Amino acid sequence: MLSFPATIKNDPARKGELATRKQFFGENRRYAVAPIHTRFDALEWFVWDAEHPLSDLNHAEVIRQAETLEEALRGL
């Protein structure tokens, strides 16, 4: 079960940084999700996939970016 604090606020001075720790989910903790500070008004939610089928890299890749947590997780 994913649970993020309701008090997370965007801080444009910290753009590109995690707003809180990543939380892992899915079989074998395949996916991670976290809010990221932006230079705009709101946080953006990113989802990483550790087993991305098109990846030739040795790390998880961002597969989604969305305005809300619900949008970011839809269909996973």
Cut 0.85: pTM above it: yes
Residue 3 lies in a domain: no
Q: How many domains, in total, are found in the chain?
A: 1
Residue 1 lies in a domain: no
Specify the pLDDT at position 23: 97
| Per-run averaged pLDDT (10 residues), the chain, 76 residues | 93 98 95 97 96 72 95 96
Residue 2 lies in a domain: no
Specify the pLDDT at position 71: 97
Specify the pLDDT at position 1: 81
Specify the pLDDT at position 57: 65
Encode the chain in three state secondary structure: CCCCCCCCCCCHHHCCCECCCCEEECHHHCEEEEEECCCCCCCEEEEEECCCCCCCCCCCEEEEEECCHHHHHCCC
